[in-house]
Structure 1
Amino acid sequence: MTEGPDATRFGELVRLHTQGRHFLDREEERRLLEDGVTRYRLRLEEARGIVRAAAAEGDMSLEHEVNASAVQLLKTMADRRQRIARRDFDKVVAFYRARAGRNLTPTDAQRRVKRLMEESDLKPARSGRILRTRRWYRQIAE
């Protein structure tokens, strides 16, 4: 694949936009890809490759990649009834924050992991010493 002037200019735009960042969420990635396709006349695969290369170069995580890793981790930690224990949920939240470069607050990371659990049809396990409830999970704001 030969890199033309449009691809070079788009690459510079992506590097400028992602400079000093550790996490690129879906909306920002979509905006960059739209710019690459519309303004710089690149194919979607080319634009996506340039964004991924810039992310790898800048040691930055892309939200969809972090989500995929977190879902796999959740599925690995689930019991045979597809339930996630609170302790395991907290581990996945810590993993998510570490991959996102700690730019996310713990509350935001909990919300994102909860959404991933719901999208993957995983359920919270009961937790507690005396009264075993799912209250810990319900308290995570949507």
Structure 2
Amino acid sequence: MTMTDAAGRARFTELVKLQTQGRRFLDRDQERKLLEEGLTRYGLTLDEAQGLLRGAAQEGDVAMEAELGASSRQLLRTLADRRNRVARDDFARAVAFYRARAGGALTDAEARRRVKRLMEELDLQPRPSGRILRTRRWYRAIDA
């Protein structure tokens, strides 16, 4: 089945709108499935499919994990001290930012896990906290 480029783009955009309807957040697996659909079924290039997906997500006010990760990485780098450590309060701010950008579609525990994964990708360490006994237990308690 061949279709014109414009018709393929329009149908892919409608598919994305359908898939994102009622959602506030698309994780990486969902993004990848939609992009694969655009490439295989609608004959789009990767750049075209990404652009249409991004546009439809923005129009529907749906957060995408890939883009959310990029802005969260920058925030974590900014919050880290000179020794690449993130304080517990700053970690909590990054989690709140992540949840807010995801439109509240994630639980606090999910957002904590995702921010912890981002910290690990960036090779950032948790800063010990506590008044007498300074530990990183707060960070280790987050399920990986």
TM-score (norm 1): 0.96
Q: 2:109 aligns with which of 103, 107, 119?
A: 107
Deviation, structure 1 residue 135: 0.4
| 4+ runs deviating over 3 angstroms | none
Gaps of 5+ in 1: none
Partner of 1:14: 16
Count residues in correspondence: 141
Gaps of 5+ in 2: none
Q: 2:57 aligns with which of 41, 55, 58?
A: 55
Q: 2:74 aligns with which of 54, 72, 75?
A: 72
Distance 2:58 2:124 in 1: 31
Q: What do you get for the CA RMSD once the two structures are aligned?
A: 1.1
Distance 1:59 1:79 in 2: 33
Q: Give aligned-pair identity as a percent.
A: 63
Distance 1:65 1:121 in 2: 20
Distance 1:75 1:8 in 2: 39
1:78-136 deviation line (CA, Å, top 9, x unaligned): 11000000000000000000001111110110000000000001000000111110000
TM-score (norm 2): 0.95
Distance 1:79 1:44 in 2: 37
